[in-house]
Amino acid sequence: MGQRGLIPLNRSLIKQKGIGIPDTALPQLFQRFYRAEHAAATQISGFGVGLYVVREVVHLHGGSISVASEEGQGSTFTVLLPLATNDPLTRSRNV
């Protein structure tokens, strides 16, 4: 935070205990209309747009989202978003 040019970030973790996500599904997870095969098998409803929309909103705010998951244990989503700042050098990048 004390160095010029570095943008302070907020890190939020969202943990969900549930069926988890198979490793093979992780690369496509944030794609529009993607649903992991096991979601249909367990009768989980949805259209596959939720995580896509979250990723788009996070990216529009200059952030990133990632996921770590283990089948049968659940998933942890990590969202990084830049914090607002009064520094004129970094304020222009927080659009």
Any domain includes 4? no
Q: Is 5 left (phi over 0), alpha (psi -120 to 50) or beta?
A: left
Which one-letter amino acid corresponds to residue 54?
Answer: V
What would the pLDDT profile of 7-56 be if each residue is shown by its tens digit?
Answer: 889 999 999 998 888 888 888 888 887 776 655 555 666 666 788 999 99
- The pLDDT of residue 2: 47
- The pLDDT of residue 26: 86
Buried b (16+ CB within 10 A) or exposed e, 29-40: bbeeeebbeebe
The residue segments making up the domain with residue 40 are 9-85
Instruction: Indicate which CATH number applies to the domain containing 30.
Output: 3.30.565.10
Q: What pTM did the predictor assign?
A: 0.72
